[in-house]
Amino acid sequence: MYPSFKKFSGILIILIGLTLYALLVSRLIEAFFADHIVLQLICYLVAGIVWIFPAYWVLKKTST
């Protein structure tokens, strides 16, 4: 009934990776586009979609 180590490591990778990704993206967007609200919004929207692809790959690899 316990989850396998593979699933646990996948969850851990996603949690740590997504946290680091969010911190890095927010710092970069703020550094480059501090005065442009519209450009920040566009970058955050793109960054919010981009993280889905690596997370999907990790989930796909750990689900089997």
Evaluate whether 29 touches 43 at the Cβ level (below 8 Å). yes
Q: What is the pLDDT of residues 8-23, one digit of tens each?
A: 888 899 999 999 999 9
- When divided into structural domains, the chain yields a total of 1
Q: What is the pLDDT of residues 26-51, one digit of tens each?
A: 999 999 999 999 999 999 999 999 99
d(CA 13, CA 18): 8
Domain encompassing residue 16: 5-62
pLDDT bin (cut points 50, 70, 90) of residue 6 is: confident
